[in-house]
Amino acid sequence: MDLLLVGLNHKTASVEVREKIYYTLEETEKILPEIVYLFLKEGVLLSTCNRTELYGVLKSEEIKPEQLIDFLISKKEATGFVDPSHFYIMRSYDAIRHLLEVASGIDSMLIGDVQILGQVKDAYEVAVKCGVVGTLLHEVFHTAFRTGKRAKSETSISEGAVSVSYAAVELAEKIFADLSKKKGMLIGAGETAELTAKHLVAHGISELYIANRTIERAQKLAEQFNGKVIKLEEIPDKLAEVDIVISSVTVDNYILTFHQVKNAISKRGNKPILIIDIGVPRNVEPKIKDIENVFLEDIDSLESIAKSNYERRLNEIPKVQQIIDEELKKLIKWYEAHQVAPTIKLLRDRFEEIRRLEIEKYKNKFSPEDFEKVDALTKSLINKLLHTPTVNIRESSNGKPESERIKFIQFVRELFGLEQK
């Protein structure tokens, strides 16, 4: 198989390097037709925050993978910063297996990444829009889509939060089910707190208050999450209004005390409240967890949840690999048949052409009724004569290394003087 892959990812390049070679979908739509015109028969360019990979079939043996790598680097004006050594080169079924691992989420920085399959589909659709997807890449990428879908539905590779921020959202959804009717409060503006708030907003939380010592930072986050800025001293009064509190500030004393939360619960009519303390040292008085209908989680418990889920995902990888093996076998079978089928058709067409030309010479020597009988008889003879060669061509091609299979098919074509038109 002539399929080629050149790419880099989180395993071979730092984020500083990856961002230099990242292509948006809009950029991909502009550059991909040029890449195909210069180097490829067909191609798909996949670019995400964790990888940039070009899949394609070279126009000729004279074109080298290094030329594609240099082109990708130069087009982003990243020469001198991104080095060819950051890239890997894969061919044939190794390239396909890699794509199936990407689509199923087991080659991601985050094992079981649920976004990557959609990103693979987006890359393929851009290539289709550009008119640069041929028969091979069409089949390869649809195999990848099927593999990713099976991995998600037949295994638990994407189940369970594997980050602290997402674990917090999972807890919130378990407690409240529907976040669209809930309010949240973000105390502090650290990275983990920000990511948690981002996930909460993505899951539809209706309102978000943001409190921080630096008002400018709070305002920036408020704009990002469509939230409302409050002062630190307003926190006790707002507690009764919110359902989820995420705290991550550096303080000498607890920013949330037992009495403050007890008071808020009373005002809430004992409606549940989830408090997530991801501050180090802790921001929330530990005995708050003894208050009825208060759910208190700290960074250790969230990390424990994330670690447990991550280990469970790792245990699912062999199941995903089995799905990949099954889908790869189907693709290999399709490819082998795809190579053999045109040759068999040419062989049958050649014999049919000879048969038709020969009986036409004697058409006037038979009555119409007798000519129909001769026509049917010669067709039957041709089918019987070609049955064994057809079966043998198919069976002799199966299981052979690709180089041997190509030689065998070429031999058949030369033996019978076949030329594909």
Instruction: Name the 3-class secondary structure at 345.
Output: helix
Q: What percentage of the chain's residues is helix, strand, coil (to nearest 5)? A: 60, 15, 25
Nearest 5°: phi and psi at 43? -165, 155
Q: What gap in Å lies between CA 250 and CA 229, rounded to an integer? A: 19
Q: Are 278 and 307 in contact (CB under 8 A)?
A: no
Name the token pair of 31. 């550059």
CA 399 to chain CA centroid, Å, is 30
Q: What gap in Å lies between CA 419 and CA 300, rounded to an integer? A: 70
Ligand-binding annotation for 189, yes or no, is: yes
Instruction: Name the 3-class secondary structure at 81.
Output: coil
Ligand-binding annotation for 51, yes or no, is: yes
Ligand-binding annotation for 242, yes or no, is: no
Ligand-binding annotation for 197, yes or no, is: no
Pairing label, strands 228-230, 88-91: unpaired
Ligand-binding annotation for 48, yes or no, is: yes
Ligand-binding annotation for 193, yes or no, is: yes
Q: Indicate if 130 belongs to the active site.
A: no
Name the token pair of 358. 């020969």
Ligand-binding annotation for 144, yes or no, is: no
Q: 261: Cβ–Cβ under 8 A, 6 or more apart, which residues?
A: 239, 273, 275, 288, 291, 294
Residues found in the chain: 421
- Please state, in angstroms and as integers, the Cα–Cα distance from residue 85 to each residue in 65, 88, 96, following that order: 12, 8, 22
User: CA nearest 80: which of 89, 70, 88?
Assistant: 70
Q: CB neighbours (10 Å) of residue 396?
A: 15
Instruction: Name the 3-class secondary structure at 398.
Output: coil
Q: Which uninterrupted H or E stretch holds 68?
A: helix 65-75
Ligand-binding annotation for 312, yes or no, is: no
Ligand-binding annotation for 292, yes or no, is: no
Which residue in 15, 38, 49, 391 is the catalytic one?
49
Nearest 5°: phi and psi at 22? -80, 130
User: CA nearest 236: which of 208, 278, 265, 213?
Assistant: 265
Ligand-binding annotation for 202, yes or no, is: no
Place of tokens 């093996």: 325
Ligand-binding annotation for 50, yes or no, is: yes
Q: What gap in Å lies between CA 368 and CA 277, rounded to an integer? A: 94
Can you say which residues are annotated as belonging to the binding site? 48-51, 108, 113-115, 119, 188-193
Can you say which residues are annotated as belonging to the binding site for NADP(+)? 188-193
Can you say which residues are annotated as belonging to the binding site for substrate? 48-51, 108, 113-115, 119
Active site residues: 49
